[in-house]
Structure 1
């Protein structure tokens, strides 16, 4: 593990940048899926069972107040993926109506749009990734990108909540102080561990560096600079290692799964551009007094073959069901896995 273990935590040792040129290293395992009866490996004291199989490239899970579980599939709803829509459902198991557009956004680049509702249900927070790696096409092309919007559902007006987030994906609320947290996929082309993807609290009006700097105020020399923005760039709370493609995020209350502390569960989709692959697992980052602490705990592993040539699955969204089970979405295995006490 070496440097990978060092580039994790609240004070990571991030190696010096080694620019790799316009085309980064490519190392992508062949997607094989799971054979009948196969499943991921699970932490001691827990068990994993299929919650749903034979889905169509599932990506996300949402648990409704009544306990119903919604699964978002990449091929599930026709239409452009760039916008935010709402849909009326009354007893259906699948969405069939076209929906109503709440926000129009640019297509291309990081094309997924992740959402989370405020606790009172009056607002949506919408994560939008960048159009490019380091704004190679200019900052005009990045307008409305690399940020989190706040959308008022009453007025249908939106504003920038936080910016400088290259590709913020999953979001979750930390319950002790009510803060919003996200996982961010950082830039490519500077080495295996540089910079690390990260987990961070998101402050209203906060700026997190992209594209000018990373991990706070470490300048990316490949980018034309804005010294004023770099000066106010916030340092993320917790490094997750380089290129882990950390996507899913949910809060796991202490005591929900036997033997595990409270903290943030993260679905790591896995790397494609480093010499030794990283991610390809579901982890827990322990929290204490509202902030991350200690080292990550592996919950689900075994998605990647030992020789790194094939993958059975790749974790994406994570959620806690009303009965306390942890649900982990797998878009290569076309499955949702359910983790409970053994």
Structure 2
């Protein structure tokens, strides 16, 4: 009845393998398992997916498969799909040969053919979205661990076709990773594109969406929201919130600012109420945010 509260609940799909990304397009429902992209027949209004789905693309799940999520997004005319694939490891400690087709965004046709690496050197890209009024893809990336509380910043960035963003050789521009000194590739360090917006170290920034509705105040229109799942290995917690990045003319126009907080109960005890993951905007301009610690879907709406 459109009151912002779910009326019914269904088991839509089951027997999956660490599913994450989902997409509805042209009579199909796509699911990104950790090891494959599945495509199901789908009719709007279905409350259950029938069958096991067709594997249209095998995806790498090489061990330890540290970054297992596989997100999916189409381009604006639906002629291409983009699949975000994180690295298997922290900083290629198991060898770069264990990272084939990983730490990248893949581009494919809707039937799974025509695979190309759209961009690489992205340690763990998760959320993806197109900036309003442009054909520029943006993503949120989880950067590397174990070189301090304040290194390396996660980031929110535009993504250039054939661009290289540093992993594992460099971070946030041409900054060589000191752990790669015996296997450093300075050619790749020099090729590294500096990301657009740092969003804090170890914040585990995941979901992104651009706000194109009118329900929120004008400052939010065409800007980006980023969910931060929160740190696990930092002496002081970071993340655990939703931030907003203002945009103007298709580009960031100001520093990130807090939008939704209150997920941390007691910072000194690492006690939290929730951890934001996914984010989307509904037709009425309200926003849904998933939280995989409290197992809650939060709705944020403007006061009428």
Shorter-chain TM-score range: 0.7 to 0.9
Q: Distance in 2 between matches of 1:52 and 1:257?
A: 25
Aligned to 1:203: 160
Pairwise CA distance, 1:55: 9.4
Pairwise CA distance, 1:244: 0.4
Tell me, yes or no, if structure 1 residue 272 matches structure 2 residue 232: yes
Pairwise CA distance, 1:259: 5.1
Q: Indicate conservation of the 8 Å contact 2:151/2:201, yes or no.
A: yes
The size of the alignment, in residue pairs, is 285
Shift in CA distance, 55/153, structure 1 to aligned 2, threshold 3 Å: closer
Aligned to 1:23: none
Q: Distance in 2 between matches of 1:109 and 1:317?
A: 19
Shift in CA distance, 50/198, structure 1 to aligned 2, threshold 3 Å: farther
Q: Distance in 1 between matches of 2:282 and 2:22?
A: 9
Pairwise CA distance, 1:81: 2.5
Q: CA RMSD in A?
A: 2.8
Residue in structure 2 matching 1:294, options 254, 273, 296? 254
Deviations 1:286-306 (A, max 9, x none): 111211122223222111113
Tell me, yes or no, if structure 1 residue 88 matches structure 2 residue 41: yes
Q: Indicate conservation of the 8 Å contact 1:116/1:125, yes or no.
A: yes
Q: Indicate conservation of the 8 Å contact 1:327/1:338, yes or no.
A: yes
Unaligned residue ranges in structure 1 (runs of 5+): 1-48
Pairwise CA distance, 1:96: 3.9
Unaligned residue ranges in structure 2 (runs of 5+): 12-17
Aligned to 2:197: 238
Residue in structure 1 matching 2:280, options 319, 323, 327? 319
- Under a length normalisation based on structure 1, what TM-score does the superposition of the two structures give? 0.77
Give secondary structure in 2 for the equivalent of 1:341: coil
Aligned to 1:191: 148
Matches within 5 A, 1:1-342: 81-90=34-43, 91-107=45-61, 108-153=65-110, 156-223=113-180, 224-253=183-212, 255-258=214-217, 260-262=219-221, 263-307=223-267, 308-342=269-303
Q: Which is bigger in relative contact order (C-alpha 8 A, separation at least 6)?
A: 1
Deviations 1:243-297 (A, max 9, x none): 0000001111274412542311111100011111011111111111211122223
Q: Distance in 2 between matches of 1:300 and 1:55?
A: 28
Q: Distance in 2 between matches of 1:155 and 1:277?
A: 40
Q: Distance in 2 between matches of 1:331 and 1:294?
A: 29
Q: Distance in 2 between matches of 1:136 and 1:313?
A: 31
Q: Distance in 2 between matches of 1:63 and 1:266?
A: 19
The more displaced of 312-321 and 88-97 is 88-97
Deviations 1:79-108 (A, max 9, x none): 963211111123321324211111112212
Give secondary structure in 2 for the equivalent of 1:133: coil
- Under a length normalisation based on structure 2, what TM-score does the superposition of the two structures give? 0.86
